[in-house]
Amino acid sequence: MIRCEALSFAYGNRPVFERFSWEVRRGEVWAILGPSGCGKSTLLLLAAALLRPQRGAVWIDGRRWTHPRPRTGLILQEYGLLPWATVAENVALGLRIRRFYGPDGRHAPRDRPRPADIERRVAYWLERLEIAHLADAYPAHLSGGQRQRAAIARTFVLDPDLLLMDEPFSALDAPTREALQTLTLDLCAERGVTVVLVTHTIEEAAFVGQRILLLGEPPNREAQIVDNPHPPVAAYRRHPDYQRMVVRLRSALEERRAA
């Protein structure tokens, strides 16, 4: 699904990745974990084709993309909702942009959604995210959890097969964060979506990531991977394996920092 091949990227004279290789197979759920400034968000933006590597390549589904891929979903920490648009209008935004471009296969898939299709798909995802009663509300009147649900609905309405998330739950209180983590994983499993989540929280990586990529102080040259096979269910947080994984990840990060 994603293949980073001898990837090099730097901000000015500060290298972040040097000949870095990493691979994500279709259907996998990954967390990218590391300290601030280690390149987590940079790697996500490279996978989204919002940044370009100086050397090497990023391949998605066997193709080297130089522009954002239509079936790649991106969810950000700051929600990205238009403040002057209602929840329903925000959720429909991507589909309306696709109608603007038309089915060119570059900016949008080769099917052009009709207005009735847009309304039907938006209504479905508002129901699935339990915010149908907020369809006519504006972002300023929503809680953080409700805004993030709207952002998730806006992404899923586009039918992605790859979901990239950059600390989407970090600003939420613990119960809301855990509920949205579980809901998002359930939706991705239901639809066969490949997931890559950036986080700086060890506990979140231990719950979300069935495979975990550890990054350290730049430049990153080798992919350090921790396997964490577990069912993505809320009960896992109460299982001894979860606590052991938290301890293991904390030790691995400390060792990487010391090195």
| Rounded mean pLDDT, 133-139 | 97
Domain residues of the chain, as ranges?
1-71+186-259, 77-159
CB atoms within 10 A of CB 109: 14
pLDDT of residue 208: 94
Q: Do domains 1-71+186-259 and 77-159 have the same CATH topology?
A: yes
For 141-155, how does the pLDDT look when each residue is reduced to its tens digit (9 = 90+)?
A: 999 999 999 999 999
Residue 101: pLDDT over 70: no
Q: Which residues contact 64 (CB under 8 A, 6 or more apart)?
A: 57, 58
170 or 143: which carries more pLDDT confidence? 143
pLDDT of residue 111: 66
Mean pLDDT of the chain: 91
pLDDT of residue 231: 80
In CATH terms, the fold of domain 1-71+186-259 is Rossmann fold (3.40.50)
Rounded to an integer, what distance in angstroms lies between the CA atom of residue 71 and that of residue 231?
A: 25
For 3-27, how does the pLDDT look when each residue is reduced to its tens digit (9 = 90+)?
A: 999 999 999 999 999 999 999 999 9
53-81 burial: b if 16+ Cβ within 10 Å, else e = beebebebeeeebeeebbebbbbbbebbb
CATH superfamily, domain at 77-159: P-loop containing nucleotide triphosphate hydrolases (3.40.50.300)
* pTM of this structure: 0.92
Residue 232: pLDDT over 80: no
